[in-house]
Structure 1
């Protein structure tokens, strides 16, 4: 992309998403994520009304009556965006591609982060780590992130969410809030998701297209897998095929939701035809 065109796109994204983060999400972001980064302060005796999940079982066993761990809020939060840059992000049949939603959601979160004086970093991943931008503060840093979101060209079209989660766990030493922005067209990442969520506050943001949920009845069409490049002819006039396709999507979503619930990770889904502002509001209210 030419420099002048890129700068115009960056400016357009900046105006829209900075306004959203400042006027709509400033308070919601703070209440949803501030205080999630906690440091250990002390151990004290259990008092009526304390959260039993905070009980320190080792100390309790030693003294014969319950003690709890007390944590205090860290003043500074570190936010990490894990951005899926695999081939399937180029898909979209309504008004926007999935990658357009990825970009605007990520930019909105980035501006919300710096307005709260927090650090933000980005991990771009396919089936490998394509690029890592270490967490920093400041508008200049966020604009660099937005430029990469718009113009980044990955080396691979495939996906490995497990690998991205392992990189997060190893590269970010301090407990952080991590947003995975992806369509989650992948499998076998539950174990690494659970490990990552023990160290970090992980939030999953799924972006999908309506045509991934059901096929229209438009006769014989050729479909291409954006990640493998494989092409197949499909007869969409076959009602049984359309029903099977829709059922497979539903089963996949149930499995995805189950995996995130089991790992203690919040999941919010949005389609390319949805208003992502509503999805973000839903996420913030879910965590308030």
Structure 2
């Protein structure tokens, strides 16, 4: 509680009365300061009682018309005064002030005179940064009835506003341009289908989609076999999400990371719906982080969702290799140290050109052997070392570093670990249109070859993830052009 300017003026009058009493030696002048002091004390006690009454009740309530919005969308903060307290608030000359979070923009006056307001105050809000924000109770500054004292108190309730990033709405998850049979995000427990958890093998039947043939089992058993996938899993799950610099490729709100975040969030909800233990690992250009220990409680799932919501790409130190020329160069590198050594050994001539290439491929072999220093490889190996028993490893990444990914998956897939890769093809995230449709289609076919190469590894399933409209446009245009030739 603070004294106002009026209080100090009146206190000065009381002091002057006391001085006159001393000057004239007349006790009657003493009554002036005593009377003023008693009057001020009564005012203070009455004001204190009124403030206590307001703080113990609910004179003001606030709520949001929408407590979950997209970034840059508007919502409205509605503040209501309790009719039973309006006379007292008017008597106390109450002024309400809203102090928003720095990320919130209040599109109206921050201060409102409650004595002159109607029962409802509406404040349009807009939020520019994704996240969850607490809106504190509004502060109300009040003055005592005669204006001697004033106080500012938070009156009302706290509410929470969540802003989600603008994300893609039409996500393709599938293989070879075909969506998976079970709708993305909709899996029934204990139902066979083409979900994500590996199930039993069965013989191929006429009419089964060919992209569900398990070629490893087919080669081993001699007849075509289909692997069923179940929607429910009781295994411990480790989710690894790549958010390195190359994941920022794509239009705003539709980057690789936006799609990766959507898939990872859905997988989190999927695990939460089945009470599956889930761990999260985030891979950046220079470190690995995240709540790595799998758990199955509600607070843990919320923490993972928030980690994914706050996820951004690392600052880019050099342009990511997303151009078509760079992707072609990446595809030309050996896929493993064995490939590199075989290429080096095949250069058996003794001319200068062969000697140069032998040295080059020998260096590449050493580079492949040093993949343990790569963030993704390191993340996978660390998480698998922490697990005991069967586990399901889910990797969400793109196809920029194909050799690294292939070596990582091969090292991770074991009889105790099934690996699922959600892979974002770079060709679908070029910000330019498909000027050379044949070249773009060639890149997509090359990506599909790489995806199949991943799936050729035992206990590995790989799905493509990307914008459905761009993939459909690419495939439809290519089909039309070839049909007219």
- 2:382 and 2:439 map into 1 onto residues whose CA distance is 36
Q: Give matches, 1:102-141, under 5 Å.
A: 102-127=260-285, 128-141=287-300
- Asked if 2 retains the 8 angstrom alpha-carbon contact of 1:182 and 1:207, the reply is yes
- 2:103 and 2:311 map into 1 onto residues whose CA distance is 13
- 2:394 and 2:410 map into 1 onto residues whose CA distance is 14
**How many residues are matched?**
211
Match of 2:302 in 1: 143
| Structure 2 alignment gaps of length 5 or more | 1-101, 105-126, 133-161, 168-182, 200-216, 218-231, 321-373, 471-485
Shift in CA distance, 24/173, structure 1 to aligned 2, threshold 3 Å: same
- 1:247 and 1:12 map into 2 onto residues whose CA distance is 31
- 2:267 and 2:419 map into 1 onto residues whose CA distance is 14
Match of 2:462 in 1: 267
SS, match of residue 203 in structure 1: strand
CA distances 1:141-194 after superposition (whole Å, capped 9, x unpaired): 111111111213465758743333222322323321111111131123333312
2:404 to 171, 174, 188: 188
- Asked if 1 retains the 8 angstrom alpha-carbon contact of 2:384 and 2:412, the reply is yes
- 2:315 and 2:192 map into 1 onto residues whose CA distance is 36
| Structure 1 alignment gaps of length 5 or more | 14-20, 37-52, 54-73, 218-235, 276-288
- 1:171 and 1:117 map into 2 onto residues whose CA distance is 20
Whether 1:205 aligns to 2:422 is: yes
- 2:398 and 2:196 map into 1 onto residues whose CA distance is 23
Whether 1:168 aligns to 2:383 is: yes
Structure number, greater radius of gyration: 2
Whether 1:178 aligns to 2:393 is: yes
Shift in CA distance, 189/253, structure 1 to aligned 2, threshold 3 Å: same
Shift in CA distance, 261/214, structure 1 to aligned 2, threshold 3 Å: farther
Match of 1:253 in 2: 448
Shift in CA distance, 29/177, structure 1 to aligned 2, threshold 3 Å: farther
Match of 1:232 in 2: none
- 1:274 and 1:95 map into 2 onto residues whose CA distance is 15
- Asked if 1 retains the 8 angstrom alpha-carbon contact of 2:288 and 2:379, the reply is yes
- What is the root-mean-square deviation of aligned Cα atoms in Å? 4.1
- TM-score w.r.t. the length of structure 2 is 0.37
- TM-score w.r.t. the length of structure 1 is 0.58
SS, match of residue 404 in structure 2: coil
SS, match of residue 162 in structure 1: helix
Shift in CA distance, 183/34, structure 1 to aligned 2, threshold 3 Å: closer
- What is the Cα deviation at residue 256 of structure 1? 3.5
- 2:442 and 2:165 map into 1 onto residues whose CA distance is 42
- 1:176 and 1:107 map into 2 onto residues whose CA distance is 19
SS, match of residue 290 in structure 2: strand
Taking CA–CA contacts closer than 8 Å with sequence separation of 6 or more, which of the two structures ends up with the larger relative contact order?
1
- 2:131 and 2:431 map into 1 onto residues whose CA distance is 35
- What is the Cα deviation at residue 265 of structure 1? 0.9
